[in-house]
Amino acid sequence: MSDAQRLDAAPAEELLAYRARARAWLAQHAPAFSGAARAGLSADEDLALGRAWQRLKSEHGYACITLPRAYGGGGGSELEKIVFGEEELKYDLPTVYFGVSLGMPVPMMLRYATPEVAEKLLPPAICGDDIWCQLFSEPAAGSDLAALRMRATPATRGGVEGWLLNGQKVWTSWAQYASWGIIVARSDPAAPKHAGLTFFYLDMRSPGVEVRQIRKLAGETEINEVFFNDVFVPDSQRMGPVGAGFRVAIETLMIERYSVSDESLSGPAIEKFVCFAQDARINGKPALEDGEVRALVADTLVERQGLRSIHRRALEAIGAGREPGPEGAIRKLLLGRRRQQVGATALDLLGPAGAALTEGLTTVQDFAWSWIDSPGPRIAGGTDEILRNTIAEKVLGLPQDHRPDKGVPFNQPR
C-alpha cells in the first residue's frame, strides 16, 4: 500500500469505528425515546421526551456534532455528523422540534453574535432547553422575502437604544415553544426593497408578542402566525449592519435549504417502500415485480445517492466556515417531489384501503400521512418555482427574470 493509500485508509477506518460506536450507543439509549415510547403521548409530553433525548445526546457529544464542546457540541467532523445522522434516522425519535434551532439560528449566531452572547445562548439551544424559531415569511411575503412589511422603527427604552417591531409573521415553525427567534424587518421603507431590511434576534417572551397556532391538514400544529405590537428589541441584538438584513437572511436560507431538505423530512425511507411493495399485490403478484414500481425504486435510489453527495459537500463547506452554495435548491426540489411521488404510488397500491388513515402514526412512518403532508415541505424554505429560478440563475447561469421594482423605493407605487 502506498503512502497516499494509507492516508486515505486511516480516515475511512476511523469513520467505520465511529459508526460502530454511534450505532452501539444508539442501540443502548434510543429505544427508550423511540417508537413505542412515544405512542399516545401528547404534544407537550413528546416535546419533553425530545428535550431529554437532546440533552442526553449533548452530554455524550452527539448533539451538534461539529460545534465546539464549549457550547455543548461534539467537537467532531462533518463526516461524523453525517454518519451519526444516518444511524439516528433508523429510529423514530422526537428530534423534529430542534431542526429549526440547530439548522438555522445556531449557525447564524456563531457567525454574528459576540462570544459572550454565544456562550450564553447556544448551550441551552444545543441541549434542547431553548427552542428557536425563524420569523421570515409574512402574509404578503414568502417566496419574495424582500417584499416583507414588518416595520422596525428606531426607539429608546430605559436609556437603551433599539427598535420597535410592528407587524405579522406566518408559517413560523415551533413558535409556540420558542424562547428565542431570528427575524428580519423593514427598517427603511424609503430604500429599495432589498436594501431596507435589518436582521435581529429577539426574546419571544417579550411584551407585545402573540403566537397563534395553525392546524395543518394532517392534524399537526407546528406552524404558527406571530403578531408584534411595539415589541422592543435592543440594538445589541442586531445581526449584521443596518440595511443588510436581506444578505443575512439569504445566508440563513442557504443553510435552511439543507435543513428543510434533510431526508428525515422526506417521508418513509425507500427501503420501507421496497418492503411494502413486496407485500402489496398487482394482478396477484408482488408489486415489486412490476416494471414501473421497480423503476420508481431504482430512480429513487440513484437520485438519493446524487443528492447525498450534494448535501455532503454543503455540510463540509459550512463546517469550514464557508457559505453553502445554491445547489441545495436542487436537493430540496427533488426530495419534495420524490416524497409526493412515492406516497402517491403507495396509496395506489393500497387501493381503497389507503383512505383508512391510522391515527398516531407520523409522516416518516406512514405513506398516507406522508402524502397528505407532502405539499408543506414543497413550500417551506422556498417553493418549487423559486427553487427552479435559483437553479436557473445561480447554478446554470441563466439571466434573471425582468424585475420592474428593481432599485425603486419600497414605499413608492410600482
pLDDT in tens, 378-398: 887 778 888 898 889 888 899
Are 246 and 146 in contact, with CB atoms under 8 Å apart? yes
The fold adopted by the segment(s) 132-246 is Butyryl-CoA Dehydrogenase, subunit A; domain 2 (2.40.110)
- Cα–Cα distances in Å, from 255 out to 11, 157, 177, 328, 364? 26, 34, 22, 8, 23
Secondary structure of residue 229 in the 3-state scheme: strand
- pLDDT at 119 (0 to 100): 92
Q: What are the residues facing 344 on neighbouring strands?
A: none
pLDDT at 48: 97
Residue-by-residue pLDDT tens, the chain, 414 positions: 443 333 334 467 888 899 999 999 999 999 999 988 998 898 899 999 999 999 999 999 999 888 888 888 888 887 788 789 889 988 889 998 998 898 889 888 888 899 899 999 999 999 999 999 999 999 988 778 889 999 999 999 999 999 999 999 999 999 999 999 999 999 999 999 999 999 999 999 999 999 999 988 767 778 999 999 999 999 999 999 999 999 999 888 766 555 544 454 567 888 899 999 999 999 999 999 999 999 999 999 999 888 888 877 776 665 566 666 777 788 888 888 999 999 999 999 999 888 888 877 777 778 988 898 888 878 877 788 888 988 898 888 999 887 777 878 888 876
d(CA 244, CA 171): 23
Q: In this structure, are residues 187 and 199 in contact, taking their beta carbons and an 8 Å threshold?
A: no
pLDDT at 7: 33
User: What ranges do the domains of the chain cover?
Assistant: 3-94, 132-246, 261-395
Distance in angstroms (rounded) separating the CA atoms of residues 312 and 97: 23
- How many Å apart are CA 414 and CA 344, to the nearest integer? 42
Number of helices followed by number of strands (H, E) in the chain:
12, 9
Query: In Å, what is the CA distance from 54 to each residue of 14, 64, 73, 189, 392?
Result: 25, 10, 11, 41, 38
Single out the residue of 28, 113, 22 nearest to residue 71, CA to CA: 113
Taking phi over 0 as left and psi of -120 to 50 as alpha, with beta for the rest, 402 belongs to beta
Amino acid letter at 180?
Answer: W
Phi/psi at 90 (nearest 5 deg)? -75, -10
DSSP string, 116-177: HHHHHHHHHHHTTSS-EEEE--BTTBSSSGGG---EEEEEEETTEEEEEEEEEEEEEETTTT
What is the tens place of the pLDDT at every residue in 122-156? Answer: 999 999 999 999 999 999 887 788 899 999 999 99
**Residues 94-121 pLDDT 10s:** 998 998 898 889 888 888 899 899 999 9
With the C-alpha atoms ordered 259, 363, 140, 100, is the resulting torsion angle positive or negative?
A: negative
> C-alpha dihedral over 386, 387, 393, 394, to 10 degrees?
130
CA angle 360–333–194, rounded 5-degree value: 110
Q: How far is CA 344 from the centre of its chain?
A: 24
Q: How far apart are CA 168 and CA 114, in angstroms?
A: 28
Helix (H) or strand (E) run with residue 228 in it: strand 223-234
Amino acid residing at 17: A
CATH ID of 261-395, from 3.90.550.10, 1.20.140.10, 3.90.1300.10, 1.10.1060.10:
1.20.140.10
* Whole-number Å distance between alpha carbons of 212 and 172: 10
Yes or no: say if 154 and 215 are a contact pair by the CB < 8 Å rule.
no
Cα–Cα–Cα angle for 255, 260, 263, rounded to 5 degrees: 115
**Are 22 and 63 contacting, i.e. CB atoms less than 8 angstroms apart?**
no
Q: Determine the Cα–Cα distance for residues 148 and 20; give it in Å rounded to an integer.
A: 48
